[in-house]
């Protein structure tokens, strides 16, 4: 495992930083497939830079042994965004996305981050998103380990709750409660369920971790954020007032 980093301006030498780290797992094979994957990853990276409100405190690029030239292009592109306030990178030797994620997590934890976003390099943001609201929920609620910010898997169910950041669905532990779709993780998730399996496909890595979450009834829960475009305007509450014209 080879580590290297580009230090951010104004970063304390202690490595202790407040905020949210973002992990980008990448793999760009040789040939046309790698080039196509790189183009998609650059598009999604640009969308994160454009739409993440407040920018990116720390971007951890966790690469799984890509073609060096393609990997360098991605790292260089990320470093050119002014909204990326800090950046670090790690490369693993073809051990799968589980190994990349584990390395990215260690990278973020080692620099003082407990809340970590994982978006996957082929999920693009289409609208502004303020991660800080849901990160606050994740930090303040010790019963939570993860907040999913992307679309649910089929047959998802749970209990609807209202949090300070908005409505969320506390997921039942069946089907794919856990998934590698865009989400925020808290370190307590991994303290409870462990790290990801390595040396397997991305699909198998996801399946195995989900099985561990679903089998454990005592570990931290997962919330599916339920964003919507409406805001309730507070005024005089009249919902319980009976109309005068109602006959007794």
Give the tokens for residue 141: 């609620």
pLDDT tens readout for residues 31-40: 999 999 999 9
pLDDT, residue 247, reads 59
| Beta-carbon-side half-sphere exposure of residue 196 (alpha carbons within 13 Å) | 25
Tokens 């649910």 — which residue? Answer: 152
Q: Which CATH superfamily is domain 1-128 in?
A: Spore Coat Polysaccharide Biosynthesis Protein SpsA; Chain A (3.90.550.10)
pLDDT tens readout for residues 75-133: 999 999 999 999 999 998 899 999 999 999 999 999 999 999 998 889 999 999 999 99
Give the tokens for residue 113: 């981050």
For the chain, the residue count is 248
User: Where along the chain do the CATH 3.90.550.10 domains lie?
Assistant: 1-128
Query: Nearest 5 degrees, angle CA 94-CA 79-CA 18?
Result: 90
In whole numbers, what is the pLDDT of the chain averaged over residues? Answer: 89
């Amino acid at each position: 495992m080879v580590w290297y980093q580009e230090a951010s301006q104004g970063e304390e030498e202690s490595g202790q930083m407040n905020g949210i780290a973002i992990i980008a797992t990448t793999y760009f094979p040789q040939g046309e497939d790698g080039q196509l994957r790189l183009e998609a990853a650059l598009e999604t990276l640009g969308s994160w830079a454009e739409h993440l409100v407040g920018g990116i405190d720390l971007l951890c690029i966790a690469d799984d042994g890509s073609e060096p030239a393609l990997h360098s292009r991605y790292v260089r592109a990320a470093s050119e965004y002014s909204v990326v306030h800090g950046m670090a990178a790690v490369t693993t030797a073809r051990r799968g996305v589980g190994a990349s994620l584990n390395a990215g997590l260690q990278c973020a934890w080692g620099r003082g981050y407990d809340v970590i976003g994982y978006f996957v390099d082929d999920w693009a943001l289409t609208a502004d998103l303020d991660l800080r609201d849901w990160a606050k929920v994740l930090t303040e609620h010790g019963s939570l380990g993860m907040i999913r910010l992307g679309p649910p898997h089929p047959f998802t169910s749970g209990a609807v709750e209202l949090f300070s950041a908005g409505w969320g669905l506390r997921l039942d532990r069946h089907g794919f409660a856990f998934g590698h779709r865009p989400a925020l993780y808290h370190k307590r998730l991994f303290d409870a369920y462990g790290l990801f399996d390595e040396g397997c496909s991305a699909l198998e890595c996801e399946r195995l971790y989900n099985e561990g979450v679903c089998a454990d009834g005592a570990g931290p829960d997962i919330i599916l954020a339920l964003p919507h475009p409406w805001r309730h305007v507070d005024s005089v509450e009249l919902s319980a007032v009976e109309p005068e014209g109602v006959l007794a």
